[in-house]
Amino acid sequence: MNASTPLFWRDPRLPQVELRCIGDARQVAYARHSHAQWSLGAVTRGRSTFYYRDDTHAICAGDLVMMNPGWVHACNPIEQEPWAYLMLYVDTDWVSELRYRSGLSKSPEWQDIPTAALSTPVLYRRYRRMAALLLDERANLARKRGALTETLLAVFSHVQSGSERSSMKVPAPLERLAAYLDHHALERLTLERLCRISGYSSGHLIRAFKHHYGMTPRAYLINRRVQLGREWLNQGHSIAETALALGFNDQPHFQRTFKRLLAATPHQYRTHSTGKSALVQHDEQAAHGQQ
């Protein structure tokens, strides 16, 4: 397999998580996007630039990065330098309950974490051990689940989960509109309709929505459709029926948009690899990328 081809690990016994591995990400290019899940990544080789909401961070091998649900981000390589990473996507409701039951959050609802990146060797090593265990077909489910929860709680304890910055408080009409887009993403929505829902004029709506969410309402809607497409593919639906259900013009349009936002084709996302060999292959590809 080409070193730049992403590997996706999933296990139906642990539906709360998904792990992405890529050994040579020099050709990877993300458009700005967001996820419904909370994400925790580890840079395993090289350097990259991490755009997160309103800030840009220089990250390198040994760093961890965190992305809140719905926060716009993009992470891309620097001038063809070797770069490799692991990325864990975690169901928001599940991880919110985990934090709450552990006393690390005052509410069972999701609480945003202001920290974007960590350079903490002990947490990085713990993350790598957890990833290796998830990918190990010989490890039993209890060990996998234990490593997952212990790693996440160690990270949350370290950053002392904080509340969303008051300066980023989203006005109620925009929050309602974002929720409407989430729940009506498969409908044909006009700008006029969104203006009626929010009470904003078209120009004001586009500017205000982009200020608070990092993208225009249309870009937010497309991003939401791609995230739904990811769920459909994970459930076994074909690429063609997923593209049709999500309202894309045709299958190539869906494939181009999916790759632009997730840096992987729908086919690559469906053709995932499980087992310990996936992490071995990741490390071999990453090492080769530095040569």
Task: Specify the CATH number for the domain of residue 39.
Answer: 2.60.120.10
Distances, alpha carbon 232 to alpha carbons 178, 225, 226, 246, in Å: 21, 10, 10, 10
Helix axes 172-183, 217-234, angle to 10 degrees: 40
Give the start-end residues of each E strand in 61-152: 64-67, 73-77, 83-90, 117-118
Q: Are residues 121 and 82 in the same domain?
A: yes
Question: Residue 196 CB: number of other CB atoms within 10 A?
Answer: 10
What 3-state class would DSSP assign to 194?
helix
Burial label for 44, CB within 10 Å (0-12, 13-18, 19+), is buried
pTM of model > 0.85: no
The CA distance from 131 to 90, in Å, is: 13
- Whether 127 contacts 64, CB under 8 Å: yes
Q: Are residues 146 and 178 in the same domain?
A: no
Total count of domains within the chain: 2
Burial label for 235, CB within 10 Å (0-12, 13-18, 19+), is exposed
Boundaries of domain holding 79: 7-165+276-289
- Whether 20 contacts 6, CB under 8 Å: yes
Where is 132: in which H helix or E strand?
Answer: helix 121-135
Q: Are residues 133 and 176 in the same domain?
A: no
Q: Are residues 173 and 161 in the same domain?
A: no
The CA distance from 56 to 49, in Å, is: 7
Residue-level pLDDT at 102: 87
1 found inside a domain: no
Q: Are residues 26 and 144 in the same domain?
A: yes
Task: Specify the CATH number for the domain of residue 254.
Answer: 1.10.10.60
Per-residue tens of pLDDT for the chain, all 291 residues:
555 677 889 999 999 999 999 887 666 667 888 999 999 999 999 888 899 988 889 999 999 999 999 999 988 777 777 788 999 999 999 999 999 988 888 889 999 998 999 999 999 999 999 999 999 989 999 999 999 999 999 999 898 744 444 345 788 999 999 999 999 999 999 999 999 999 999 999 999 998 888 889 999 999 999 999 999 998 889 999 999 999 898 899 999 999 988 888 999 888 765 554 555 455 555 555 544
Q: Are residues 74 and 137 in the same domain?
A: yes
DSSP secondary structure of 207-256: HHHHHHHSS-HHHHHHHHHHHHHHHHHHTT--HHHHHHHTT-SSHHHHHH
